[in-house]
Amino acid sequence: MAQGLIEVERKFVPGPGTEERLQELGGTLERRVTFRDSYYDTPELSLMRADYWLRQREGSGWELKCSGAASVSGPHTEYVELTAEPAVVAQLCEVLRAEVPGAGGVAAVLGPLGLKEVASFVTKRSAWKVVLHGADEEEPPLRVDLDTADFGYAVGEVEALVQEEAEVPAALEKIHSLSSMLGVLAQETAPAKLIVYLQRFRPQDYQRLLEVYSSKEKP
Protein backbone atom coordinates (compact mmCIF):
# COMPACT_ATOMS: atom_id res chain seq x y z
CA MET A 1 0.00 0.00 0.00
CA ALA A 2 1.16 3.55 -0.70
CA GLN A 3 2.54 5.37 2.31
CA GLY A 4 0.15 7.53 4.31
CA LEU A 5 -0.38 8.72 7.86
CA ILE A 6 -2.12 6.33 10.25
CA GLU A 7 -5.22 7.86 11.80
CA VAL A 8 -6.21 6.41 15.16
CA GLU A 9 -9.52 7.69 16.49
CA ARG A 10 -12.28 7.07 18.98
CA LYS A 11 -15.82 8.27 18.36
CA PHE A 12 -18.20 9.30 21.14
CA VAL A 13 -21.51 11.06 21.70
CA PRO A 14 -20.78 14.65 22.78
CA GLY A 15 -22.89 16.31 25.46
CA PRO A 16 -23.84 19.94 26.13
CA GLY A 17 -20.83 20.33 28.45
CA THR A 18 -18.17 18.80 26.18
CA GLU A 19 -16.72 22.11 24.95
CA GLU A 20 -16.61 23.52 28.47
CA ARG A 21 -14.79 20.38 29.63
CA LEU A 22 -12.28 20.76 26.79
CA GLN A 23 -11.57 24.31 27.97
CA GLU A 24 -11.09 23.06 31.54
CA LEU A 25 -8.53 20.56 30.23
CA GLY A 26 -6.58 23.36 28.53
CA GLY A 27 -7.91 22.62 25.07
CA THR A 28 -7.67 25.22 22.33
CA LEU A 29 -10.49 25.85 19.86
CA GLU A 30 -8.63 26.02 16.54
CA ARG A 31 -11.55 26.78 14.27
CA ARG A 32 -15.23 26.36 13.54
CA VAL A 33 -15.79 25.25 9.96
CA THR A 34 -18.59 24.05 7.69
CA PHE A 35 -17.89 21.68 4.80
CA ARG A 36 -19.57 19.17 2.49
CA ASP A 37 -18.37 15.57 2.26
CA SER A 38 -19.30 13.37 -0.69
CA TYR A 39 -18.60 9.62 -0.61
CA TYR A 40 -18.19 7.45 -3.69
CA ASP A 41 -18.50 3.72 -4.27
CA THR A 42 -19.72 1.14 -6.77
CA PRO A 43 -23.41 0.15 -6.78
CA GLU A 44 -22.38 -3.01 -4.88
CA LEU A 45 -20.40 -0.94 -2.32
CA SER A 46 -17.22 -2.77 -3.30
CA LEU A 47 -15.02 -0.25 -1.49
CA MET A 48 -16.93 0.11 1.78
CA ARG A 49 -17.48 -3.63 2.08
CA ALA A 50 -13.71 -4.08 1.80
CA ASP A 51 -13.16 -1.33 4.44
CA TYR A 52 -12.06 1.39 2.01
CA TRP A 53 -13.77 4.79 2.17
CA LEU A 54 -13.42 7.28 -0.70
CA ARG A 55 -14.35 10.85 0.15
CA GLN A 56 -14.20 14.22 -1.53
CA ARG A 57 -14.26 17.06 0.97
CA GLU A 58 -15.21 20.50 -0.26
CA GLY A 59 -12.07 22.63 -0.34
CA SER A 60 -9.77 19.78 0.71
CA GLY A 61 -9.76 17.36 -2.20
CA TRP A 62 -9.86 13.57 -2.19
CA GLU A 63 -9.06 11.12 0.60
CA LEU A 64 -9.09 7.34 0.70
CA LYS A 65 -9.21 5.74 4.13
CA CYS A 66 -7.73 2.24 4.10
CA SER A 67 -8.20 -0.18 6.95
CA GLY A 68 -5.16 -0.31 9.23
CA ALA A 69 -3.64 -3.35 10.89
CA ALA A 70 -5.72 -2.81 14.05
CA SER A 71 -3.02 -4.32 16.24
CA VAL A 72 -4.95 -3.41 19.40
CA SER A 73 -8.64 -4.27 19.79
CA GLY A 74 -11.09 -1.88 21.41
CA PRO A 75 -13.66 0.85 20.77
CA HIS A 76 -11.49 2.68 18.22
CA THR A 77 -10.61 2.61 14.54
CA GLU A 78 -7.28 2.68 12.77
CA TYR A 79 -6.95 3.78 9.15
CA VAL A 80 -4.20 4.74 6.74
CA GLU A 81 -5.15 8.01 5.03
CA LEU A 82 -4.14 8.54 1.42
CA THR A 83 -4.56 12.06 0.04
CA ALA A 84 -2.11 12.18 -2.89
CA GLU A 85 -4.27 11.53 -5.96
CA PRO A 86 -1.84 9.14 -7.72
CA ALA A 87 -1.71 7.01 -4.56
CA VAL A 88 -5.50 7.11 -4.23
CA VAL A 89 -5.98 6.07 -7.87
CA ALA A 90 -3.43 3.24 -7.57
CA GLN A 91 -5.09 1.89 -4.41
CA LEU A 92 -8.59 2.12 -5.92
CA CYS A 93 -7.44 0.15 -8.96
CA GLU A 94 -5.85 -2.47 -6.72
CA VAL A 95 -8.98 -2.92 -4.59
CA LEU A 96 -11.30 -2.97 -7.61
CA ARG A 97 -8.87 -5.11 -9.64
CA ALA A 98 -8.64 -2.67 -12.50
CA GLU A 99 -5.72 -1.51 -14.60
CA VAL A 100 -4.09 1.70 -13.44
CA PRO A 101 -4.66 4.40 -16.09
CA GLY A 102 -1.68 6.20 -17.54
CA ALA A 103 -2.66 9.62 -16.27
CA GLY A 104 -5.46 11.59 -14.65
CA GLY A 105 -6.65 12.21 -11.12
CA VAL A 106 -9.39 10.63 -9.07
CA ALA A 107 -12.22 12.43 -10.89
CA ALA A 108 -11.01 10.97 -14.19
CA VAL A 109 -11.25 7.36 -12.98
CA LEU A 110 -14.67 7.55 -11.28
CA GLY A 111 -16.52 6.63 -14.48
CA PRO A 112 -14.16 3.89 -15.67
CA LEU A 113 -14.17 2.29 -12.20
CA GLY A 114 -17.96 2.51 -11.89
CA LEU A 115 -17.80 4.81 -8.86
CA LYS A 116 -20.79 7.04 -8.12
CA GLU A 117 -21.78 9.33 -5.28
CA VAL A 118 -23.55 7.35 -2.56
CA ALA A 119 -23.74 10.01 0.15
CA SER A 120 -23.32 13.76 0.48
CA PHE A 121 -23.93 15.93 3.52
CA VAL A 122 -22.79 19.14 5.23
CA THR A 123 -21.02 19.11 8.59
CA LYS A 124 -20.50 21.92 11.10
CA ARG A 125 -17.31 21.22 13.03
CA SER A 126 -15.63 22.63 16.12
CA ALA A 127 -11.97 21.58 15.89
CA TRP A 128 -9.99 21.47 19.14
CA LYS A 129 -6.47 20.51 20.05
CA VAL A 130 -5.48 19.25 23.50
CA VAL A 131 -2.04 18.64 25.00
CA LEU A 132 -2.30 16.13 27.82
CA HIS A 133 -0.77 17.11 31.16
CA GLY A 134 2.79 15.83 31.38
CA ALA A 135 3.11 15.25 27.62
CA ASP A 136 6.46 15.84 25.92
CA GLU A 137 6.73 19.33 24.41
CA GLU A 138 7.57 17.87 21.01
CA GLU A 139 4.61 15.52 21.14
CA PRO A 140 1.82 16.47 18.73
CA PRO A 141 -1.44 17.43 20.47
CA LEU A 142 -4.51 15.25 20.26
CA ARG A 143 -7.29 16.51 18.04
CA VAL A 144 -10.91 16.57 19.13
CA ASP A 145 -13.56 17.25 16.50
CA LEU A 146 -17.17 17.93 17.50
CA ASP A 147 -19.41 17.49 14.45
CA THR A 148 -23.06 18.10 13.69
CA ALA A 149 -24.32 16.88 10.31
CA ASP A 150 -27.08 18.65 8.41
CA PHE A 151 -29.40 15.66 8.96
CA GLY A 152 -29.32 16.24 12.72
CA TYR A 153 -26.70 13.77 13.94
CA ALA A 154 -23.92 14.86 16.33
CA VAL A 155 -20.72 12.91 16.99
CA GLY A 156 -17.33 13.64 18.51
CA GLU A 157 -13.97 12.06 17.83
CA VAL A 158 -10.62 12.06 19.60
CA GLU A 159 -7.88 11.54 17.06
CA ALA A 160 -4.13 11.09 16.79
CA LEU A 161 -2.05 10.84 13.61
CA VAL A 162 1.08 8.69 13.69
CA GLN A 163 3.71 7.69 11.15
CA GLU A 164 4.37 4.07 12.15
CA GLU A 165 2.31 1.11 13.35
CA ALA A 166 4.62 0.88 16.39
CA GLU A 167 3.33 4.26 17.58
CA VAL A 168 -0.33 3.16 17.65
CA PRO A 169 -0.47 1.66 21.20
CA ALA A 170 0.95 4.84 22.78
CA ALA A 171 -1.45 7.00 20.75
CA LEU A 172 -4.35 4.81 21.87
CA GLU A 173 -3.37 5.19 25.49
CA LYS A 174 -3.54 8.99 25.14
CA ILE A 175 -6.84 8.82 23.26
CA HIS A 176 -8.43 6.63 25.94
CA SER A 177 -7.03 8.88 28.68
CA LEU A 178 -8.51 12.03 27.14
CA SER A 179 -11.79 10.25 26.35
CA SER A 180 -12.08 9.27 30.00
CA MET A 181 -11.45 12.89 31.08
CA LEU A 182 -14.28 13.92 28.74
CA GLY A 183 -16.60 11.49 30.50
CA VAL A 184 -16.69 8.88 27.73
CA LEU A 185 -17.40 5.42 29.12
CA ALA A 186 -14.71 2.78 28.60
CA GLN A 187 -16.51 0.76 25.93
CA GLU A 188 -18.73 3.54 24.53
CA THR A 189 -18.87 3.77 20.76
CA ALA A 190 -20.77 5.98 18.35
CA PRO A 191 -21.46 5.35 14.66
CA ALA A 192 -19.86 7.58 12.05
CA LYS A 193 -21.90 10.24 10.24
CA LEU A 194 -21.76 8.28 6.98
CA ILE A 195 -23.14 5.13 8.60
CA VAL A 196 -26.06 7.04 10.14
CA TYR A 197 -26.69 8.76 6.79
CA LEU A 198 -26.91 5.40 5.02
CA GLN A 199 -29.12 3.98 7.77
CA ARG A 200 -31.58 6.86 7.39
CA PHE A 201 -31.50 7.56 3.66
CA ARG A 202 -30.13 4.43 1.94
CA PRO A 203 -31.33 1.57 4.16
CA GLN A 204 -30.60 -1.10 1.54
CA ASP A 205 -26.96 -0.01 1.35
CA TYR A 206 -26.83 0.11 5.14
CA GLN A 207 -28.08 -3.49 5.30
CA ARG A 208 -25.38 -4.51 2.80
CA LEU A 209 -22.73 -3.15 5.12
CA LEU A 210 -24.33 -4.82 8.14
CA GLU A 211 -23.91 -8.14 6.37
CA VAL A 212 -20.16 -7.54 6.29
CA TYR A 213 -19.58 -5.76 9.61
CA SER A 214 -21.20 -6.65 12.87
CA SER A 215 -20.48 -4.00 15.52
CA LYS A 216 -17.21 -2.66 14.13
CA GLU A 217 -16.96 1.13 13.93
CA LYS A 218 -16.48 2.85 10.58
CA PRO A 219 -15.05 6.27 9.64
Q: Which residues are documented as binding site?
A: 7, 9, 11, 55, 57, 65, 125, 145, 157, 159, 193
Residues annotated within a binding site for substrate? 11, 55, 57, 65, 125, 157, 193
Cα dihedral 106→219→121→117 (10° resolution)? 40
Residues annotated within a binding site for Mg(2+)? 7, 9, 145, 157, 159
CA dist., res. 8 & res. 162, Å (int): 8
Cα dihedral 214→119→96→84 (10° resolution)? -110
